[in-house]
Amino acid sequence: MITTTNQVEGRPIRQYLGPVNANIVLGANFVSDFLAQLTDFFGGTSEAYQGKIDEVYKRTMRLLEIKAMDMGANAVVGLKTDFSQISGKGMSMFMLSAVGTAVVL
């Protein structure tokens, strides 16, 4: 279980195992960049970039879950995330950093 709250209602925290973090950087490709430029010009939602953002979120949460389980945790509380877009030299990349506290409920 991963939650943004500092506790899980009805489930006492038995042990705090420490901070756990996950960082994923995912590159967009030429087609995604091109379609996003069209969307920017004509307006609307960029499905190409939305898919990349969804993918980076899912992969980051899965990595966080794996790292917490490796520590012996069955939950992560106090989740904080930071999303960034990295652009330059004709490339676009998305980065999501996530950190929380690994605990045993």
Which of helix, strand or coil describes residue 88? Answer: strand
pLDDT tens column, 36-66: 454 444 555 556 667 777 888 899 999 999 9
Residue 28, pLDDT above cutoff 80: no
Which CATH fold topology does 15-104 show?
Answer: Translation Initiation Factor IF3 (3.30.110)
Compare 85 and 103 and report the one with higher pLDDT. Answer: 103
Other CB atoms closer than 10 Å to residue 81's CB: what's the count? 15
Average pLDDT value for the chain = 82
- What residue ranges do the domains of the chain occupy? 15-104
State the Cα–Cα distance between residues 26 and 48, nearest whole angstrom.
Answer: 13
State the Cα–Cα distance between residues 105 and 88, nearest whole angstrom.
Answer: 44
pTM listed for this prediction: 0.74
In SS3 terms, the chain reads as CECCCCCECCECCCEEEEEEEEEEEEECCHHHHHHHHHHHHHCCCCHHHHHHHHHHHHHHHHHHHHHHHHCCCCEEEEEEEEEEEEEECCEEEEEEEEEEEEEEC
What pLDDT sits at residue 41?
47
